[in-house]
């Protein structure tokens, strides 16, 4: 049976209603459209490099999320997190490169030792000069 009433929300802060209709929703949609058009105009008039040079990607992501009513807290990586991941990736690449070069370095070291041994043997075989 329909009474036309909205059911009560559970207590304890489990449900947190957010208004996404009316003027707020229209404003958010307009913000998203405007931001998209702005980025397109920059890319078309100045080239895609201009976006990389002049636009802060972290801020674009935050504004797009806000325009969609999405809270970015712990969702979007911060610049510090991105830099830390990039640094870790570079360290892993360096470690892999060192691993790949290790056999080559060992071979060079072995050849150097062999050359030293041959030189010492040749000196021992030569009669002393008086």
In a domain, 33, yes or no: yes
The pLDDT score that the predictor gives to residue 66 is 87
Shared-domain flag, residues 70 and 15: yes
Domain assignment of residue 31, given as a range? 9-76
Give the pLDDT confidence of 70-115 residue by residue, as tens digits: 888 888 888 889 899 999 999 999 888 878 777 777 777 888 888 8
**Cα distances (angstroms) measured from residue 79 to each of 11, 33, 98, 107, 116:** 38, 25, 28, 43, 53
Shared-domain flag, residues 55 and 17: yes
In a domain, 3, yes or no: no
The pLDDT score that the predictor gives to residue 49 is 92
CB 67 within 8 A of CB 32: yes
Shared-domain flag, residues 89 and 36: no
Shared-domain flag, residues 66 and 14: yes
Average pLDDT, the chain: 82
Residue 24 has pLDDT above 60, yes or no: no
Higher-confidence position of 9 and 72 = 72
Mean pLDDT for the stretch of residues 50-75: 89
The pLDDT score that the predictor gives to residue 9 is 73
Q: Looking at 76, 91, 116, which one is the last position of a domain?
A: 76
């Amino acid at each position: 049976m329909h009474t036309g009433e909205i059911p009560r929300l559970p207590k304890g802060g489990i449900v947190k209603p957010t208004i996404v209709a009316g003027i707020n929703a229209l404003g958010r949609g307009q913000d998203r459209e405007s931001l998209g058009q702005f980025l397109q105009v920059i890319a078309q008039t100045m080239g895609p490099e201009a976006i990389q040079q002049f636009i802060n990607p972290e801020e674009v992501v935050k504004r797009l999320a806000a325009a969609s009513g999405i809270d970015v807290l712990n969702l979007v990586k911060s610049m510090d997190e991105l830099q830390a991941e990039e640094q870790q990736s570079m360290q892993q690449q360096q470690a892999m490169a060192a691993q790949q070069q290790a056999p080559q370095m060992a071979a060079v070291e072995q050849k150097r030792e062999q050359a030293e041994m041959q030189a010492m043997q040749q000196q021992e075989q030569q009669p002393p000069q008086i």
